[in-house]
Structure 1
Amino acid sequence: MDTTTGLVLQAHNVRVLGNGGPTVVLAHGFGTDQSVWKHLVPRLVAKHRVVLYDNMGAGTTDPDYFDFDRYATVEGYACDLLAILEELCISSCIFVGHSVSAIVGILASISRPDLFSKIVALSASPRYLNDLDYFGGFEHSDLDQLFEAMKSNYSAWVSGFAPLAVGDDMDSVAVQEFSRTLFNIRPDIALSVAQTIFTSDLREYLGMVTVPCHILQSSKDLAVPVGVSEFLHRRLYCKSIVEVMTSEGHLPQLSSPEIVIPVLLKHIEHDIAV
């Protein structure tokens, strides 16, 4: 897809809500779509211009637009984000990114720091694989098993993965919601996106970031150990702050909105001394 054309907004299901004020861009993570922000959006629209979009490959987007080569790296998503900001003529925004989209925002800010006043990173990780002196949470064998399960029986994989990622049982509303958005994704696209995310290593870019970053993390997250947030804090060149919340799971804005939404609002609306 040519993201330089006006089709970019339609392709990413871009929505702009609110009554003016500072622009807040909300970006979702793997397996979800913009609906993952359903508890946050009503709290923002009175004071902010809110921009929502879907990453290419999400179940709400046209699978024919998914370019397997372009999205073999996280940089492809960063280019999409910059194209959306350009199309909307956004000169500055508060960017809120969940999971991989937090890193997408960080990458985009390196090339265009003028477009970002701050980045709020929720459940972010620059590398999921363990390494020397780095605990990302996964071994190569873990990822091999994950990818093989996705290939062999995607439905069964979703049924097992969703409760683990959310940190709740299959009957919970949050797990059912995450399962729904996972099932909406074409299985071959889901596998490709998962491979891109879980095998990426973007640690080298952290020292290039100049935009202030607010790092928010659940106290227990299957995908991102708490130590990763401290690693981000140490490695980011920019001013940064870490807040570990009492929530559990990788999608705390869905599973624990009563805890997470006030924290998100605090970091969106206030510049906290770092």
Structure 2
Amino acid sequence: MAVQSLSRPVARRRPEVVQSSGTTRVDPRLGKRKVKARRLGPGRAIPFGAAIGPALLLTAWIVTSATGVLDPQTLPAPSTVVQAAHDLIADGQLQSNLLTSVQRAGISLVLGVLIGVVLALVAGLSRIGEAIVDGPIQIKRAIPTLALIPLFIVWFGIGESMKIIVITTSVLIPVYINTHAHLRGVDARHVELAETVGLSRLQFIRRVALPGSLPGFFTGLRMAVTISWLALVVVEQVNATSGIGYLMTQARTYGQIDIIVVGLVVYALFGLFSDIGVRAIERRALSWRQSLGD
């Protein structure tokens, strides 16, 4: 007589499908129990998120000035700074000096980015080029810009060319470092595919090398934009006759702290909006890439 099994086949419980934050997750262990999916990344971007930090700083400045916590001799109240800016605009001083500073920073930024990308291509696509280029770049990277100014004054004088050269040499370093690193990180399979289909050197650079190095390039560009304004602050206070730095130097001579703060605010705003602009271009150019910051 056959022995019948007392155990009955147990019907498998259908896995629970959980939807949260636009993602679907299956939890086969918990059955009908609701499972809350966690998002481990930073989440979606906050509208106008870049303005929150500066807004908080401005609020703290207004409150501490109004309550007397902040000494006006140390840092004038925002209303005083706004009045000083209004007077400078009425006199035309702010516009003329601002135009000079923007021209210096813009010309130097363009030159620095172009030179940095070319040097990164030379060093990133050739071992001989890397042996020639990378060493001097690393040496310049270790030397502060301020330390080179006396030597550049001897070589190029105290005119406009010296200022542009100082800013340019400062800007090209981050562009070179980051672009070169991503060029070296291009997938070897892409290189092999380019060789298989017979791409020329120029076609390889345009279709494989440059697109592969774009993330590093934009990282270097963001740093370069900031560094261009930092270097501008330095060079415009060395025998300059125009520019925001010159305006600040004159104000320091006469103890006009409010005008010094106006200059600092102008530098800060240009640095902030330049970075926001580069980040917007980066998101558009690298829309295919998904990351935690997206």
Which interval holds the TM-score relative to the shorter structure?
A: under 0.3
More strand, by proportion: 1
Bigger CA radius of gyration: 2
